[in-house]
Amino acid sequence: MHSMAAVVRRIFLQTPVPLVLIPLLVLAMALPLSACRYTIREIGFSTLASPAYRLTVHYSKALTQQEADRFAKLCEKIMAESNLAVALDQRPTPHQDEPIAVLTFDSLKTPFVFRSGGRTLSAFIPAVLQDVLSSSTQKQILHHIVTAHAVLLFIAGTDPEQTQRSRLAIQRALEQIDPILSLMPKPSAGPPVLLELPISRRGQERVLLWSLGALEQEIEPTTVVLYGRGRQMGPALQGNKITAEAIYYLLSLVGADCECDLDHSWLLGSMIPLSWTTKTQALVAQSLGFDPENPLVKMELHRIARMRPRESAGTQPSILPWDQSARMAQVGRTDISATKTTVRQRTASQVLICFLILSAVSIPAGALIFLLKKKRRSPP
């Protein structure tokens, strides 16, 4: 029987130094720091789950092998470059009914149905995919959302006066958030971008409106804050709920620390259907300085998103209150620079703490290994 001390000594002496240090370093990294490593916006660029949108194409006419192979490759490509899963469902009928496509989403009870209108399956499927993933507004969102802090989608209403009041509220919120952006934990490359969908183009954006739950609502002005991979921050604001304070609050949440004790529903808002190619993902990685789809990064983001709230569950991230941001909009560049210096000093302190923790664990471990090896080599 070997004593416990002998067993421990054998493990340290026979195990290579890197293999001994790795678990200790992992343990040190697991120790809590004062802030989360990622912001809500950064987490929003990761998928962390299978596609929530599902498009099922029903048809009756049998396909040739060449057609079946072509559609299979198309479906595979779409699933790899979007948040849409596509399936073909062939059901023979005596009358060879025209194909239809049904789009569903986890949080929406009513599906969106596309009818072929006499088009062949070869013409129908690409047209449906275009409507679902690449409408004019979706392309504009995709163009801005990689580098912008967020995209504000403003859907105009039928009442001109109410729509104008909503526009003014949005502009006021943008003015209030502007001096705060550079003070956020990880400022984005660009400020929030405002996109307006006029009432005349609602018919061309029916799928997008459906995904936001705004298709069947009364035609009042509606504002949605989108971030990351087309995720929606908070609820859609409609009518009199479109206030500068409400929009400012949602924009502030986008740039906040993820705060691991925060309810995960604030971290991962529902996504709109959106094309997302490897080129777009490369731009995201370049903008953020890391790739959210890297397996190691996704593992960490998944842990953060799935972490159960603690006793402080339901608490929302700390953001600069509206009244303080209003005063800040009036201060000079000197005060803002001083505040930015304070933020940098706080970040440097966090890095120093992490370094000290790693040193406190790794240096004693290395010294112990050195002494044990020296003792083994010394003559009896």
What pLDDT is stored for residue 190 in this prediction?
A: 93
- The dihedral region occupied by 314, where left means phi > 0, alpha psi between -120 and 50, and beta the remainder, is left
Residue 96 pLDDT exceeds 90: no
Q: Considering the entire predicted model, what is its pTM?
A: 0.74
Question: Higher-confidence residue: 95 or 30?
Answer: 95
What pLDDT shows up at residue 372?
Answer: 64
pLDDT at 23 over 80: no
Tell me the pLDDT band of 205, cut-offs 50, 70 and 90: very high
Tell me, yes or no, if the two domains 40-44+137-322 and 53-133 fold the same way: yes
> Cα(360)–Cα(229) distance, rounded to whole angstroms?
39
Residue 242 pLDDT more than 80? yes
Average pLDDT over residues 76-98: 86
Element (H, E) at 173: helix 160-181
What is the C-alpha separation between 85 and 132, in angstroms, rounded? 11
What does the domain layout of the chain look like in residue ranges? 40-44+137-322, 53-133
Pick the CATH number of 53-133 from 3.30.70, 3.30.300, 3.40.30, 2.50.20: 3.40.30
Which has more pLDDT, 6 or 85? Answer: 85
Q: Is the dihedral of CA 185, 187, 192, 193 positive or negative?
A: negative
- Average per-residue pLDDT for the chain: 79
Query: pLDDT digits over 129-175, tens only?
Result: 999 999 999 999 999 999 999 999 999 999 999 999 999 999 999 99
pLDDT tens per residue across span 335-374: 444 444 544 555 455 555 555 666 666 676 666 666 666 6
User: Residue 7 pLDDT more than 70?
Assistant: no
Residue 108 confidence class, pLDDT cut points 50, 70, 90: confident
Q: What is the mean pLDDT of residues 296-306?
A: 80
Q: What is the CATH T-level fold of the domain 40-44+137-322, as seen in this structure?
A: Glutaredoxin (3.40.30)
d(CA 215, CA 224): 13
Integer Cα distance of 130 and 81 in angstroms: 13
Geometric angle at alpha carbon 295, from 315 and 32, rounded to 5°? 40
Please list the helix, strand and coil fractions of the chain in percent, rounded to the nearest 5, in that order: 50, 15, 35
